[in-house]
Amino acid sequence: MLNQEVGWFDQKGTGELVNRLATDTYLVGNSLSQNLSDGLRSTVMVLAGTGMMIYTSPQLALISTCVVPCVAGIAIVYGRYVRKITRSLLDKLADISKSAEERLGNVKTVKTFSRENEECKTYDNLLGEALQLGYKETLARAMFFGTTGMSGNIIIISVLYYGGNLVIQDALSIGALTSFILYAGYSAISLNGLSNFYTELNKGVGSAQRIWEILDRKCLIPTNAGMIPEIKPRGEVIFEGVNFNFPARPDSVVLNDFSLVLRHGQTTALVGRSGSGKSTIASLLLRLYDPLKGRILLDNLDLRDVSPVWLRKHIGAVSQEPVLFSGTIRENILYGLNPGDTIKESDFEDIVRKAHVDEFAEQLPNGLDTLVGQRGMMLSGGQKQRVAIARALIKNPTILILDEATSALDSVSEELVQNALEELAKGRTCLTIAHRLSTIRNANTIAVLDNGQVAEQGTYDELITRDSGTFKELVKKQAFLMNT
Ligand SMILES: Nc1ncnc2c1ncn2[C@@H]1O[C@H](COP(=O)(O)OP(=O)(O)OP(=O)(O)O)[C@@H](O)[C@H]1O
């Protein structure tokens, strides 16, 4: 199956991070916009109040501010904790939404395995974990606000005590003491506002750290880099000593010194046991990944040097399990057009006919304008494949990748679509991946993949007559399985 993961999306956790981006951005924006003005006002009030307190009675002001270092220390610890807990809470929320999305999106599978209750429990547990984190944050907030509030009260009591003594000793007038208490009161209220701001600011910082994490990630294959040749490629592809393993599984070698030539205008079929790396080769040709060693050349240009956008513009691909988007059949087919390109209605209808989409679309209430549902779930597997074939052909690609493109069709439809594909593959470089070996009988060359290399290569007739050849074995096994 063609791999849908690209570049840094392959790295564990990136999907979840992207999931979180919207929430994080909202939190940061919210925290800043709503609290910045409050924070500024409170800061000015605290500074002004403190200034007036010092002016009225430096001695009392000194007593009032002696708790400040202690409160500042608590604020630092609290700030760090809030940032940490905000990150954990956001992680948990992302897990919850990912889990719900996956389970609800595949509700048929959940029902088939009678897992409704377990899934509800799992979701409940996740919600419980998020709630616990929320409690922790609330507890920390209560302790912080309690401490700052109590400090304010200690200050007022100390001021009343020392201020009263100063009044008795005639060192301070009653008017000055009253003013001092009023200034101290205003400062305390503003300090409370400042604590609120500090809390929200730290939550925002916790979220912002996530955003930077995403923004700092480097895309391994930048979309906008590389040269854009002015002419259309001819379509001669050479895999030259390619070594490859997926970033998520560095120890599992998929391709080892793999070499293969896809001749211009010819169909090359790739066969091999499941998991031997056929789809990986298609992914490398689409430059969804770069080889670890060796090169892939298109008309003698290293794929690493050309723009991935330009490259993919000239490749049409149909995967084993094609993904459609919610929208109509027509919209899904038109999705294959290169950005900015248009197509005449007659040409569009021609492609629809050639991919045999019209056969089933005519039976649907709105024909080609019928909605396909989320991920195309309102179409059968075979119907989706036909839409995907039309989507791949609409861009008139130089290179065509057919990864089990007809595997979901019944044998009658398969033959029809297969014939149409063979017709459409003429003049293009075609890489076809097949399990059903009968479908590649007419390929110009067949490459048998084994241990990450091409073990055998030749036409169907050459390979089938080769004694003790891998291909002959595969055909024998398949024929046996089909007859039993
Ligand atoms: N994204 C991925 N990350 C890690 N390993 C992967 C990834 N995709 C595929 N693999 C592994 O790479 C190997 C080759 O997979 P690939 O899909 O190319 O096989 P295939 O020959 O096309 O199989 P099939 O005929 O069953 O579709 C397999 O062992 C598979 O488990």
pLDDT in tens, 139-151: 988 888 888 888 8
Pocket of ligand 1 (CB under 6 A): 1, 3, 5, 246, 248-249, 254, 272, 274-280
Are 45 and 183 contacting, i.e. CB atoms less than 8 angstroms apart?
no
Residue nearest to atom 8 of ligand 1 (CA): 3
CA 429 to centroid of ligand 1, rounded, Å: 23
| Ligand 1 nearest atom to the CA of residue 277, by list position | 18
Query: Averaged over 292-319, what is the pLDDT?
Result: 92
pLDDT tens for each residue of 157-215: 888 888 888 889 888 888 988 888 888 888 878 877 777 777 777 777 777 777 777 77
Are 278 and 403 contacting, i.e. CB atoms less than 8 angstroms apart?
yes
Query: Averaged over 428-437, what is the pLDDT?
Result: 87
pLDDT at position 261, please?
A: 95
Residue nearest to atom 24 of ligand 1 (CA): 274
- Is the predicted pLDDT of residue 7 greater than 50, yes or no? no
Distances in whole angstroms, Cα of residue 458 to Cα of each of 120, 440, 470: 54, 12, 12
Are 441 and 411 contacting, i.e. CB atoms less than 8 angstroms apart?
no
Scan for tokens 């050349």, then name that residue: 297
Percent with pLDDT over 90 in the chain: 27
Pocket probe for ligand 1: among 279, 435, 437, the residue whose CB has the most ligand atoms within 8 Å is 279
Whether the complex's predicted ipTM surpasses the cut of 0.90: yes
pTM above 0.80, yes or no: no
Pocket probe for ligand 1: among 3, 6, 401, the residue whose CB has the most ligand atoms within 8 Å is 3
pLDDT band at 240, cuts 50/70/90?
very high
pLDDT band at 28, cuts 50/70/90?
low
CA 280 to centroid of ligand 1, rounded, Å: 6
Are 87 and 196 contacting, i.e. CB atoms less than 8 angstroms apart?
no
Residue 11 CA to residue 3 CA, distance in Å, equals 14
pLDDT tens for each residue of 320-348: 788 899 889 999 999 999 888 889 999 99
